[in-house]
Amino acid sequence: MAKSQEQDIQDDATEAEAAEAADGEGTPLDIDDAVDEVEMLQGQLDEMRDRFMRALADAENMRKRSERDRREAEQYGGSKLARDMLPVYDNLYRALEAVRDEEKEPNKALLEGVELTMRELLNVFKKHGIDTVQPEIGDTFDPQMHQAMFEAPVPGTKAGEIIQVMATGFVLHERLLRPAQVGVSSTPA
């Protein structure tokens, strides 16, 4: 039995040496594996960081876009109603212009009421950012703000000058609601 114990001790020593040798040989492989794994994890971390930064940028862009959309809706949301109110202004203006001098005194109270209504309408327009585009005769035609209804050669004017104003234009903040309708001179230079 002593031999068998001796044999077992030798076998254990051989196994221990083999394990030590394996650890010695396995350690460089384990370090290489660990380095590869660290590099792989670093790559995944970089990819995730990149995706996170893109998601943050997208969220910030979405926040800015929604803020801009909210401001525009606040400023320009009533533009359809404002456009629908412009004929009311036009009719009040025409009513005041149609009154002849001899009709003014007998209809003084009526005219005063129409003028007050017109003034109140303009105050409401101003309150909501609606301004008039009121060109004068002799001003230069601006296609961004005016609509040419006709062209006519008029002596004493230059081509492109406004010779008649037929309807007032309106802007809502910086956005054109309706161009001023004008007649333009076509007199050659």
Report d(CA 138, CA 87) in Å as an integer. Answer: 26
77-185 in CATH: which number? 2.30.22.10
pLDDT tens digit sequence for 104-136: 899 999 999 999 999 999 999 999 999 999 999
pLDDT (average), residues 159-166: 93
Q: Which residues pair with 130 in a beta bridge?
A: 172
CA-to-CA dists, residue 78 to 43, 66, 75, 173, 184, angstroms:
52, 18, 7, 11, 32
pLDDT (average), residues 4-10: 64
Query: What is the maximum alpha-carbon separation in the chain?
Result: 146
Q: How is residue 161 annotated by DSSP?
A: B
pLDDT at 26: 47
